[in-house]
Structure 1
Amino acid sequence: MKAVIEGIRIAGLRAVVPPQRHSFVEDPGPFTVEEARKLAATIGVQERRILPPPYCASDLCLAAAEGLMEQLGWDPATVEVLVFVSQDADYVLPATACIMQHRLGLPTSAAAFDVPLGCSGYVYGLWIAARLLGGSSAKRALVLCGDNPTRHLHPEDRATLPLFGDAGSATALEVDEAAAPIPVVTGTDGAGAPHIFVKAGGKRHGLIPAVGSGGRIADEAEAAQLERDSRLTLNGAEVFSFTLRAVPPLLREAMEHAGTDVDGIDRFILHQANAFMLEHLRKRIKAPADRFVIDMQGFGNTSSASIPLAICHSMGAQVAAGPVKTLMAGFGVGWSWGAMVAELGPIPEPRVVDLPEGYPVLAV
């Protein structure tokens, strides 16, 4: 599907990461030292940020939103749209966004809801929030994207352990009739659902740790299986095949929809899946290396937060000077994908900050 966002600008960005770090190069765990070094070189991850309990992705996003509104000088009472994009909701219900609305002090007239998307979620979140602004009396929106995938990882899964990290982000949108149009392209193929998968935890396959199918108490064997099914499984070969099949056409279609080509894009910022995959995509579309962002060395794959995190970490000064014509694209779990071409800046310099020590947990 194609769409165009009109009369809306990206007013600011901020990312927040846990201060806790882990490097398989320094602490190889289930790997040999040589294996860990080769993995780091291939996937482009030297260390990851790990969010400890009781914190959740919402806490990282909330801290990002508070810092961003302060940086922009926004009164929370002027923000009437809040979209929380995450695969890691705090509760089965209510929607985490409702609790965030209250904590942030947004008005009760605000629309606040969750979008449970992962890798493509940033593009979808911006598009949804922008359309809400364009079709309502609201003038300002916050798109909060964050995940803590490390909590889904099995401690013996060598395919996922070195790759994923935790992060949260906030992006501010504002009505501005002078803003450049933002072309958007999206797509979905649910045939890929089993290839990036957490099977248990919802209603279909039981709740962890003790409730089995049909609502009865699970026996020991079933509880053990539920525990295994509650962990992330990733079919790397299928993910790689999907990415090379779907993403280059997505990027070309997004540029064509925007009336431009590779030469007309200042920076390409894709979901930071892994460096090996990103380099293949760069070569497929013949993008120059100096305009193609690969920035996950210190964070890992942070799912829905990876695009805004990469912008804040590697492009802050450039976006502050702006404008920077960017192609942003997310793709993966679902299968789901989305891309947009947007001018970023000039805006207050985007930042990456650590979650403050003692930050209050978002809880009810």
Structure 2
Amino acid sequence: MARFRKKKGFSSETTHEHQTTISERLDALARRAEAPNAMRPAVEVFCTVLALLALGLLMQASHAATTVPGSDAFQSRVLNQALFSGGAIVALLLGFRMGPAGLRPFLPLLVLVCGLMLIGCYIPGIGDPRNGSKRWIHIPFAQISIQPSELARIVLVVWVADRCVRLRLRLSDLRQGVLPVLSLGIFFCALIGFETDLGGALVFLAVFLSTWYVGGASSAYFAYSITAFGGAAVLMGLSSVAYIRDRVDIWLGSSKNEQVEASLQALSSGEYFGAGLAQGEYRNMGLPYQDSDYIFSLIGEEFGLFGMALCAGLMLAFVWFSLRLVLSLKDRFAALAAFGLLLSVSIQAMIHMQVVTGLAPPKGMTLPFVSHGGTSLLVSALAVGLALGAARQQEQVRAC
């Protein structure tokens, strides 16, 4: 319902009604969200992340209860997830200690390393192909595999925030600002997309362009970029890239996918309060990755509509507290970096829930802090920690 205000100079009988514009509504929301002390929303974000980690550990234990044979294997699986959760807290605290300013002197080196790691995904012996995708590299001395695109998303967000601050008015200059910034973004986006990870590339691009635009890029160049990249994505979807076309067909209903159908059936079977912890059956009935890419369906199956609302509510709380944190930061670089980092986590959560509920084409994407996974969990925690570190650094400056 539209709000109306009385203009000064008019009597009560000749009141001039003025309908609040969208811009005024957004300004009012920003004033309401801004906190006088940046550490307060930072603590709220931290507590929300801890709640999501606890939910994730609970759901991983539930999933392992019927899929991992033997008590020893079950304990090992739960311990493994607990270690990852502990590692996430360590990564968060490390990011909190550094803040975006801690990465700033090393950005050229970090950008180079991330680029080389993404290229390494295509090199036999270094790349670790999985399910037809080249998203991983193997680290021999550590006997682990990591996903470079997740790290690249953090580094490029901080890099573009730094560029926006350094270039200032030149950011909208075609030769000095637009082309250099977009060229690097396109290069990284292409490396991620050709891994057969179009969804990851689009998320990367959305976060990159959003940070660039909020940092002061020209609205015209931003619109041109969105149009060009959107058109390229549509052409790829309609071209001979079979896996993209197949997933779009599933989303549009032109073809069927057993995994998507099983996910929707699992959600509907939970009704209001679910089947109960560790009582879900679809994990053993043809629904793979219910501990990672489809964990929201496990929450719906075992805790019903109540559990889904709780999980979605925690993510919405994360988004709101993140907005409050960003608006409370006075330093432009810190605010831009925090915006991009927290937006990255928020978009990932939104896409996960949309895919599981059939509102978006199938895309393997974890639910931050809840799904099983190593690189994704640790990188999400590091991203949030860096944003929280910006609040800590601001309060330190204020105290001096």
Q: TM-score, normalised by structure 2?
A: 0.29
- The answer to which structure has the higher helix fraction is 2
- The answer to which structure has the higher strand fraction is 1
Q: TM-score, normalised by structure 1?
A: 0.31
The structure with more radius of gyration: 2
